Structure 1
């Protein structure tokens, strides 16, 4: 199983800094057999995000794309919009489960607009902005993500 992990943050992108969230997510995926083929920081730009995700999915380079960041209510928070735009099918239960899980810790979870979908045979999931919330959310939904990836690879 192959994965890509992107932090969506224009400030980090401009500063050429790495993401703490991506490192934690990579470790978790590795524990269940994913090979992370691509990882990095991307700007909060719909065209850039769409192009990267489409290329990875359409060339079947990865089975799973995870993003963290740009899921809130600011104008520049575009990760969910891109997932909804490029997906062949949406999986609303995944972000609903993440929000339900995170609401136990903070009411701010209701402001998270994360989305999940399938393009070709690639699962795409937006995770929350903070490294801690992204890590905990991935751990919570990981068995189901593995199941989806396995089903899509049949």
Structure 2
């Protein structure tokens, strides 16, 4: 969006981001801010006989309550059910520093909740002190950057990806390939080498031959789609699983969980992920929604599997 459109509301066509396809994950965010005051206001603020009660306690309660209601203040922000909100206050000669920490299992980031907690806590202190010091002011409210503890990945980028569609109907011209093209396009837009794309019938020999060909070409990630049901022609998993050096159960469980959410808790098609040599193979059904969700999971995370 251009700066002009952003400032003018893009003709009123703002919408919430659709996070329904994102998997839930443990999220956290931290923010901080400072409220500056004169010595007179500081004395009143910290006095035991303050007529407006315990200022810090009031600010802490206000900040926690505000964090839990952030989506009511920010129109396009998702409502997050918070699991933990903490506010810490430290006093210096001319200011109080406020630090917030917010945690939740959710699909969205929590930066707005952390900022809201600090902002409302600071406003609460300002409200109590403003009659005693007209110079009280709030400054430097900001997100505290996260410090990653993960080591830097040393894999070569971008990865080479192959998308293989297994379908009798598509090869016979009775249906169009939407899922395979969606996957290929998604990887290509993310900067992967996704030139390897093929459609074959539900034939075990052709499937093994194509996968072997891509293994010899050092394709690092192979995504198959189709042949994952429970019918006699669904040969993908039974053909490829014997070649797996090991299964990637964590990734399989993640994809199964997403599929169950998209299908009201019941999903009959099979999924598999495993490693053959240096190549990761992920076997997906022909399912548009699951393919998009799989991209949301795979694209930002798959490099972790190549750091060893």
Q: What TM-score results when the alignment is normalised by the length of structure 1?
A: 0.85
Q: Which has the higher contact order (CA 8 A, sep 6+)?
A: 1
> How does 1:5-154 map onto structure 2 within 5 Å?
5-15=163-173, 19-57=177-215, 59-107=216-264, 109-148=266-305, 150-151=306-307
Shift of 1:129: 1.4
Shift of 1:39: 0.5
- The answer to whether the 8 Å contact 1:99/1:112 transfers is no
- The answer to whether the 8 Å contact 2:165/2:199 transfers is yes
| Structure 2 unaligned residues grouped into runs of 5+ | 1-158
Q: Deviations over 1:16-66 (max 9, x none)?
A: 975111221112212332111310211111111111112211x14311000
Q: What TM-score results when the alignment is normalised by the length of structure 2?
A: 0.45
- The answer to whether the 8 Å contact 1:102/1:137 transfers is no
Q: Judging by fraction of residues, say which structure has more helix.
A: 1
- The answer to whether the 8 Å contact 1:50/1:86 transfers is no
| Equivalent residue pairs, number | 150
- The answer to whether the 8 Å contact 2:165/2:200 transfers is yes
1:143 counterpart SS class: coil
- The answer to whether the 8 Å contact 1:2/1:64 transfers is yes
- Hey, what's the Cα distance between the residues in 1 that align with 2:303 and 2:266? 24
Identify if the C-alpha distance between structure 1 residues 84 and 107 changes in structure 2 by more than 3 Å, giving closer, same or farther.
farther
Identify if the C-alpha distance between structure 1 residues 71 and 86 changes in structure 2 by more than 3 Å, giving closer, same or farther.
same
RMSD: 2.0
- Hey, what's the Cα distance between the residues in 2 that align with 1:109 and 1:71? 15
Q: Deviations over 1:88-129 (max 9, x none)?
A: 222122222111112112147531211111111111001221
Larger C-alpha radius of gyration, 1 or 2?
A: 2
- Hey, what's the Cα distance between the residues in 2 that align with 1:79 and 1:43? 11
| Structure 1 unaligned residues grouped into runs of 5+ | none
1:5 counterpart SS class: strand
- Hey, what's the Cα distance between the residues in 2 that align with 1:109 and 1:55? 35
- Hey, what's the Cα distance between the residues in 2 that align with 1:145 and 1:67? 16
- The answer to whether the 8 Å contact 2:164/2:180 transfers is yes
- Hey, what's the Cα distance between the residues in 2 that align with 1:109 and 1:30? 32
